[in-house]
Structure 1
Amino acid sequence: MLDIYWICLIGGVLFALVTIIFGDILGDIFGGFFDVLSMDHLDFLQPMVLVGGITVFGGSGIMLSRYTSLELIPVVIISVVISLAVSVLVYFSYVRPMKNCENSTGYSMKDLVGKIGEVSVPIPVKGYGEVVMKVGAGNTNQIAGNLEQEELPAGTRVVVGETKEGILFVFRYE
């Protein structure tokens, strides 16, 4: 059984080294093969969680076999429990938070409704100007019309009330 523990430990360490050194190349070669595992209901099957669990199983099995007087079955059970505990810890402390922190710079015009911006090009009563709005980590300039039929000079803070055909319709922010 000690051989199986060593195979698990060495295999996990080699997987980690190969992933660190050749991760991008392998990702291009397999081109989305592991994306099936990243579906919402299979997140816990990420390679980091699985291989990490196998590696911990091997390492804990070796340690328990060598440094305790436990028999084979208790060593296997304790190693599996330790492996599962570490896998759960890795999943909840790393994999799941990283999935939730992915950011995108893309946005929809509908996402701008209700956002506050500032007029950069004056908006006449009947016509269009431009507003600057903060979106994510940057700013965007958008064509804007007036909802309240009043002139909005540059520097006026406004709120987006609606969007139509790629144009923001705004009103004065009070």
Structure 2
Amino acid sequence: MEQLFWSCLAGGVLFAVVTVIFGDLVSHAVDGMLDFLSVDGHRKLKPMVIVSGITAFGGAGLLLLHYTPLGGAPAVVVSLVAAVVVAYVVYVAYVRPMDDSENSTAFSIRELTGRIGEVLVPIPPRGYGEVLVKVGAGRTNQIAASFDGETLHAGERVVVVEVRDDTLFVSRFDGGTERGHTEGNAN
């Protein structure tokens, strides 16, 4: 029984050391090979959570064998409970907050329909120009064409009517609201 506990503890410590020292190299080398450890339906089953549970199982088992009167089977049961508790704490205290903190600045160009923008490069009636549109906390420049076939001059406010072939089709903006935001908050 002691060999099982030592193996689990040593494997977990080795995994931690390799991850800290060679984490990026190993990540690129095995790129996606360990994805089977993260079960899609169960976000909690991530390699870090699994390995922390195995390491806690080994450490708790060794401590229980050496410092308590518990023998083989009871030590395994208590170690399993300790492993589940530690894995849960690792998930709640580290993994879930890290998952939630991963923000992306990516957006779909289709999300720009209905947004208010400003013409940067004049848009001729049958040609292309450029508009600046607010996306989240930032702004993006996009190729634009006139939806109504009108000339739109630099500095004019426009609304994105449609997105086709990665081009924003815009019309002159006369006022009103943008997706629940007042005119003053649109840009």
TM-score (norm 2): 0.73
Report what 1:46 is aligned to: 46
Change (3 A) 1:92 1:114: farther
Q: For 1:33, what is the secondary structure of its paired residue?
A: coil
Share of identical aligned residues, percent?
52
Q: For 1:41, what is the secondary structure of its paired residue?
A: coil
Superposed counterparts of 1:1-174, under 5 Å: 1-38=1-38, 40-41=40-41, 43-99=43-99, 101-103=101-103, 106-124=106-124, 127-135=127-135, 139-147=139-147, 152-171=152-171, 172=173, 173-174=175-176
2:38 touches 2:47 (CA, 8 Å); kept in 1? Answer: no
> Which range moved further: 50-59 or 60-69?
60-69
Distance 2:153 2:22 in 1: 56
Give the paired residue count.
174
Distance 1:137 1:27 in 2: 31
- After TM superposition, what 4+ stretches of structure 1 lie above 6 angstroms from structure 2? none
Q: For 1:155, what is the secondary structure of its paired residue?
A: coil
Change (3 A) 1:88 1:29: same
Q: What residue ranges of structure 1 are gaps of 5+ in the alignment? A: none
Aligned residue identity for 1:164: R
Q: What residue ranges of structure 2 are gaps of 5+ in the alignment? A: 177-187
Aligned residue identity for 2:62: I
TM-score (norm 1): 0.77
> Which range moved further: 104-113 or 160-169?
104-113
